[in-house]
Amino acid sequence: MKRWSRQTTRSAINGYAFISPWLVGLALFTIYPIIASLYYSFTRYDIVREPRWIGLENYVTLATQDLIFRRVMGNTIYLVAVGVPAGIVVAYLLALLLNNEMKLRPMFRTIFFLPALVPAVAAAEVWRWVLNAQWGLINAWVKARGWPVIPFLSSEGWAKNTLILIHCWAQGQAMMVFLASLQDVPRSLYDAAEVDGANRLQRFWYVTVPMTTPAMLFLVITHLIGMFQYFTMGWLLTSGGPNFSTEFFSIYLYRNAFEYFKMGYASALSWVLFLIIMLFTVVTFRSSERWVYYGGS
């Protein structure tokens, strides 16, 4: 126990003074909305009339009656289960590639990073044009070979995968994180492994992979959180369609809140989303003790 002195009092006053903007923001823009949305989730509320308390009805409807929600959950799980690993693997492979000595490396790095910088709205328009069924670049090539046109955005089977593909295209940020992590692996470890007779593949598996697991943990968690909240690109390109095949959690939530004005129901959805994200984050953290290796410590 530290002794409370005048020094402590002074640093307490100073410390809280400095963080006060965040504390006020926390109360106004985080704690209040969380509590309020929990309250709204137990009500029926359309903004025009006062919220009416209905207990657990929203949650019960969600779990037992809402058939679209079932579809939405399936879509979201698919997006997370395929999109998160796909994005991370692409980022890792690109980083491995760029980790080799080569000419023009800064240029290649910029090219792979650039898509991550492109504002989502602009990226959506560019992809809409590239994937266009009639004149799009890819389908022009496909048609020239006499193959059937690929309905990237207009078929139920393709739409989700197309969005995942676009997600993989914009992995520049994750690639940079991996690249930095790869460059932090001490040379001496590779040299030692080589002396022990490890081949390239073994060196990759027993040196590179373990040493980059901290970066992997960080990216798995941020990507999980991000993918469960996936909204903008999906909203812009397919708006949930065709036939609800890209109706993801956040899109459905937005629709309930701002198209149907079911604020109570949307709040219940937001809490379910929150709990799911928390569950996945905690489970990932717990599991990390088994697969994340912190060099040195």
Partner 1 sequence: MTNTAVAMTAEALQAKRHARLVRVAGRMLLYVTVITLSFAFALPLLWMFVTALKDDPDVFRLPPVWIPRPIRWQNFAEALTIIPFGMHLLNTLKIAVPVVIGTVLSCSLVAYGFARIDFPGRTFLFFVCLATMMLPFQVRMIPLYIRFSVMGWLNSYRPLIVPAFFGGAYPIFLLRQFFMTIPQELSDAARIDGCSELMIFWRIVLPLAKPSLAVVGLFTFMGSWDNYLGPLIYLNDAKLYPLSVALRGFQSEFWEEHLWQYMMAASATTIAPVIVIFYVAQRTLVEGITVTGIKG
User: Which residues within the stretch 14-43 sit at the binding site for partner 1 (CB under 8 A)?
Assistant: 14-19, 21-26, 28-30, 32-34, 36-37, 40
Residues 57-86 contacting partner 1, CB under 8 A: none
Nearest distance from residue 37's CB to partner 1, in Å?
Answer: 5
Q: Is residue 130 a contact point for partner 1 (CB under 8 A)?
A: yes
Please say which residue, 61 or 281, places its beta carbon nearer to partner 1.
281
Q: Is residue 267 a contact point for partner 1 (CB under 8 A)?
A: yes
Candidate residues 1, 48, 144, 195; the one interacting with partner 1 per rule CB under 8 A: 144
Q: Is residue 231 a contact point for partner 1 (CB under 8 A)?
A: yes
Nearest distance from residue 197's CB to partner 1, in Å?
Answer: 17
Query: Across the strands, what pairs with 162?
Result: none
Alpha helices in the chain (DSSP H): 6-26, 32-40, 57-60, 67-98, 105-117, 120-130, 137-144, 156-169, 172-183, 187-195, 200-203, 209-211, 213-228, 232-237, 249-258, 263-291
Candidate residues 55, 119, 146, 296; the one interacting with partner 1 per rule CB under 8 A: 119
Nearest distance from residue 112's CB to partner 1, in Å?
Answer: 6
Instruction: Tell me which residue of 106, 129, 127 sits closest to 115, measured CA to CA.
Output: 127
Q: How many CB atoms lie within 10 A of CB 140?
A: 12
Q: Token pair 């078929």 is at which residue? A: 155
Contacts within 8 Å (CB) and 24+ apart, 32-38: 37/267, 37/270, 37/271, 38/267, 38/271
Query: Across the strands, what pairs with 95?
Result: none
Please say which residue, 80 or 253, places its beta carbon nearer to partner 1.
253
Q: Is residue 140 a contact point for partner 1 (CB under 8 A)?
A: yes
Candidate residues 181, 238, 246, 288; the one interacting with partner 1 per rule CB under 8 A: 181
Query: Across the strands, what pairs with 76?
Result: none
